[in-house]
Chain A
Amino acid sequence: MTKAITVAGLHKSFGRTHALDGLDLAVDSGEVHGFLGPNGAGKSTTIRVLLGLLRADSGAAQLLGKDPWKDAVALHRRLAYVPGDVELWPNLTGGEAIDLLSKLRGGLDRGRRDELIERFDLDPTKKGRAYSKGNRQKVAIVAALASNAELLLLDEPTAGLDPLMEVVFQDVITQAKEAGKTVLLSSHILAQVEKLCDRVSIIRLGKNVQSGTLSEMRHLTRTTVEAETERPATGLDAMPGIHGVRLTDRRVHFAVDGAHLDAAIRALGGFGIRSLVSHPPTLEELMLRHYGDELAANGHPAGADDAEDLPAAADTSGSRGVVR
């Protein structure tokens, strides 16, 4: 499969801040790629480098086979961008802003534009300053999707949208994917990413800490198992790949590495399973796995609520890395 985006060893500093510190990223053509990381991880900087708005200090980046800085204008005719914080011209109406951005990109499908305005329930006759944050966001989304761009760079596109519009957005992105478009979707809404994205990259402090499909990632991480057995399930903690065993009478609770799940369930079977609940790590847990130490530093008590099943980032450093 051809790559729509390839980034290798990208560095970018702003003064003494290292926004990107050797970032790698690969996005296949036709996929929806989730781009995750907390505020300040370098997501927006990466997208702006890909847009040729910022110039990388070192490293290589290619977009649709071209250089994002040198071939910026030619590339921009083939891509569309939705910033996370859309600023509009106070004196222009939303409709005018949509037309302006689409036509400067090189073309506008008027039927598609009107359909999207309808679906997103946007009033295109209001002036830019009269829009709320969510409505400004809609203007940029409509402008991006009304074009025939083959690549969509979306930087937290739905920040400020209400849940109804979130559903519409997901439909529209699914349609775009069916039409063969490539999407790089930076987002904090993990449910959105889980639903839309084929593959995901998690970045931290300007580095890519994990990339892969969600199932690949889940395989590498631990599944939580809760079971009730006929006899107390003793001796599990001695088995490889099983962590955090808590045994209270006949109930057992533990986390198991993906590779050892099969052995763990077989062992449980020996005690006579009465009930079994097992859930793969959610994306949130995957994220938190890489940020556990930050949470602890921010005063989140270790072992509290959902984080209790998560191994601390430090002791899983061996399983980090890019999955292909």
Chain B
Amino acid sequence: MTTVTAPAAGRTSAPARTGSGALAGTGILVRFGLRRDRVRIPVWVVALTLGTMSSVTEFKTLYSTAAERATAVSSMDSPAALAMTGPRHYLDDYNIGSMMGHQLLGFMGVLVGLMSVLIITRHTRNEEETGRAELVRSTVVGHHAQLASALILAAVANLALAALLTLSILSAGIDGITTGGALLYGLTNAAIGLVFAGVAAITTQITAHTRGASGMALAAIGVAYVLRASGDVGNDALSWLSPIGWAQRTYVFVDNRWWPLLLCLALAALTAATGFVLSTRRDVGAGLRSARLGRRTASDALTRPFGFALRLHRATLLGFGAGLFVMGGMYGSILGEAADMLKDIDPVQEALAKIGGASVAESFASMVMVVIAVVAAVYVVMAALRPRAEESAGRAEPLLATGLSRDHWVGSHVAVALAGGTALLLVAGLGFGVSGAASVGDGGLVLELIGAALAYAPALWVTVGVAVALFGWYPRAGAAAWIVPVYAFLVGYLGSILQFPDWMNNLSPFGHVPQLPAAEMSWTPLLVLTAVAAGLIWLGLAGFRRRDLETK
């Protein structure tokens, strides 16, 4: 599409606020976006605030006395705990406020980043991909208006979150909380969100697909998180490469430094500006790379159901594979430092860390396995819900009008999800194992860590089963399958910090997996999980055989 300039006639008939030039119509689009997201954004903001405040309540009950806080410091002062939370300096003054900065900021950063990325891609690339942007841009709307309005929308959401967090923290009646500190905490969350909104503004220019644009931006969040995790355990410089690391280095409620926020703002401005510049180098609806021509005929593999499903999943699977391999490698590279870290500490501490017969490195590795399993579960849910996406896009209809049976069609996607999820565990375990073995200097670790990762496979299969069962019986509720990885993350990760009761752990399929290498291998739960997965998949297929295909 060529550049559209607002015609004079359009300007006179439009309200004065429409303006002209590249940003014409931004104001209207912002209001339109707020209208579209009138439920979505408040739900995000309130959920993130409630999550924060319920953790604060936990902190207050768990660590009300100085003695309890001292115990918290000693349990936090391990590589596994620091990799999960934040930099060690918070431990120097470990009150309720600094616990928030230390334990919550890290994954709040991930979640706020996720919110921002989804807002940007939903209002830019998704609009283009569905063709709605073409209609909107044919009106008096400048060529930067859509990206600008999406960024403003993300900023509104992040600032609303900052305000709500600040007010909630101030009204929670926590000892030693200052207004300045609360405001800094709120704004730090918003600053991380703005950075990843800027990152998404770039990724939406690169690829023509919403899925790809979100995926790339989420990968950036993942890299930022792993960098800070590695930096907080080992070399501090790595954390300084990560915007989440910057945010944690405000040392809110300890030192209350404001200047790291400037780094975030500068990066947000830089990435957003890059997004605007890149957007002028492409057509509406297209990516930066022009579409290439492809094969004239289909390969033999493509015309078989499994090969076809694999082709549809290929890009996502490769992306997750590369991401998990790198993530495993980065965690592995600090395994050696984790093992060394406790050498200087007195024997009592070491004994404490060895409860259950596990070494420090082993419990660190077990924690990493949870993270790997949750990321693989995210892939698995996406893959298992793919038939649903195909169905609602209208692409299942022509396929199911051929000699392909419903069982075969869903089965091919399920097979890719099962095998793909397992392969991701293998790849992540390999990355973790190889670099871990190198950093510890123990070659035997490679197989041990791959095995530990693969132990999570049956839990992934159950996740697939949940998604397939929902697809078969309640297709519109398919997205509820996301509860499985989210819950696994909350319980497996936060739960170990916040000391959730055992029954909460038992609700998650991931809670039944033996925590190798720290714990002993036990086959029974894995066999039970596999049977449950098979049952759920069978149930889902049976449901899909009975129901109407949803057509456009």
- A: residues with CB less than 8 A from B are 44, 48, 51, 53-55, 72-73, 76-77, 79-81, 83, 85-93, 95-101, 103-106, 124-127, 129-130, 140, 143, 153
Q: Of B291, B308, B548, which contacts A53 at CB under 8 A? A: B548
17 contacts between A and B (CB under 8 A): A51-B400, A54-B549, A54-B551, A72-B406, A76-B401, A87-B395, A87-B398, A87-B552, A95-B294, A95-B295, A101-B398, A101-B399, A104-B303, A104-B404, A125-B296, A130-B291, A140-B398
Residues of chain B with a CB closer than 8 A to A103's CB = 298, 303
Q: How far is the CA of A302 from the CA of B546 in the complex (A)?
A: 48
Given A83-B397, A87-B395, A105-B402, also A100-B295 (CB < 8 A): no
Contact A87 B394 (CB under 8 A): yes
Contact B400 A127 (CB under 8 A): no
Q: Is B208 an interface residue (CB 8 A)?
A: yes
Shortest CB distance B195–A (Å): 30
Query: Chain B binding site: helix, strand, loop or mixed by DSSP?
Result: loop
Contact B297 A99 (CB under 8 A): yes
Contact B302 A100 (CB under 8 A): yes
Contact B400 A53 (CB under 8 A): yes
Residue in B closest to A75 when the chains form the complex, CB atoms: B403
Contact B291 A99 (CB under 8 A): no
Contact A95 B298 (CB under 8 A): yes
Q: Is B311 an interface residue (CB 8 A)?
A: yes
Q: How far is the CA of A90 from the CA of B548 in the complex (A)?
A: 25
Q: Is B70 an interface residue (CB 8 A)?
A: no
Residues of chain B with a CB closer than 8 A to A54's CB = 548-549, 551
Residues of chain A with a CB closer than 8 A to B302's CB = 92, 96, 99-100
Q: Of B294, B546, B547, which contacts A127 at CB under 8 A? A: B294
Shortest CB distance A98–B (Å): 8
Contact B303 A100 (CB under 8 A): yes
Q: Is B277 an interface residue (CB 8 A)?
A: no
Q: A91-B312, A103-B298, A129-B291 given. 19 additional CB < 8 A pairs?
A: A48-B551, A53-B400, A53-B401, A54-B549, A55-B546, A55-B547, A72-B400, A73-B404, A76-B403, A91-B311, A93-B293, A96-B297, A104-B305, A104-B404, A106-B403, A124-B297, A125-B295, A127-B291, A127-B292
Query: Chain A binding site: helix, strand, loop or mixed by DSSP?
Result: mixed
Contact A85 B552 (CB under 8 A): yes
**For the side of the interface on B, what is the size category?**
35 or more
Residue in B closest to A107 when the chains form the complex, CB atoms: B403
Contact B404 A125 (CB under 8 A): no
Q: Is B138 an interface residue (CB 8 A)?
A: no
Residue in B closest to A97 when the chains form the complex, CB atoms: B298
Q: Which of B511-550 contact A (CB under 8 A)?
A: 546-549
Q: How far is the CA of A275 from the CA of B296 in the complex (A)?
A: 60
| 0 or 1 for each of B121-135: is its CB under 8 Å from A? (1 = yes) | 000000000000000
| Nearest 5 A/B pairs, CB to CB | A99-B298, A93-B294, A103-B303, A81-B401, A104-B402
Contact B293 A126 (CB under 8 A): yes
Contact A51 B403 (CB under 8 A): no
Given A87-B395, A103-B303, also A51-B401 (CB < 8 A): yes
Given A73-B405, A89-B312, A104-B303, also A96-B398 (CB < 8 A): no
Residue in A closest to B307 when the chains form the complex, CB atoms: A100
Q: How far is the CA of A76 from the CA of B406 in the complex (A)?
A: 12
Shortest CB distance B245–A (Å): 36
Residues of chain A with a CB closer than 8 A to B406's CB = 72
Contact B548 A86 (CB under 8 A): no
Shortest CB distance A275–B (Å): 52
Contact B403 A73 (CB under 8 A): yes
Q: How far is the CA of A93 from the CA of B293 in the complex (A)?
A: 8
Q: How far is the CA of A105 from the CA of B291 in the complex (A)?
A: 29
Q: Is B209 an interface residue (CB 8 A)?
A: yes
Shortest CB distance A141–B (Å): 12
Q: Is B47 an interface residue (CB 8 A)?
A: no
Which of A53, A73, A104 has the most chain B CB atoms closer than 10 A to its own CB? Answer: A104
Shortest CB distance A55–B (Å): 6
Residue in A closest to B551 when the chains form the complex, CB atoms: A48
Residues of chain A with a CB closer than 8 A to B273's CB = none
Q: Of A55, A85, A92, A125, which contacts B548 at CB under 8 A? A: A55
Contact A95 B549 (CB under 8 A): no
Residue in B closest to A88 when the chains form the complex, CB atoms: B395
Q: How far is the CA of A48 from the CA of B405 in the complex (A)?
A: 15
Q: How far is the CA of A55 from the CA of B401 in the complex (A)?
A: 14
Contact B394 A99 (CB under 8 A): no
Contact B293 A95 (CB under 8 A): no
Residues of chain A with a CB closer than 8 A to B295's CB = 93, 95-96, 125
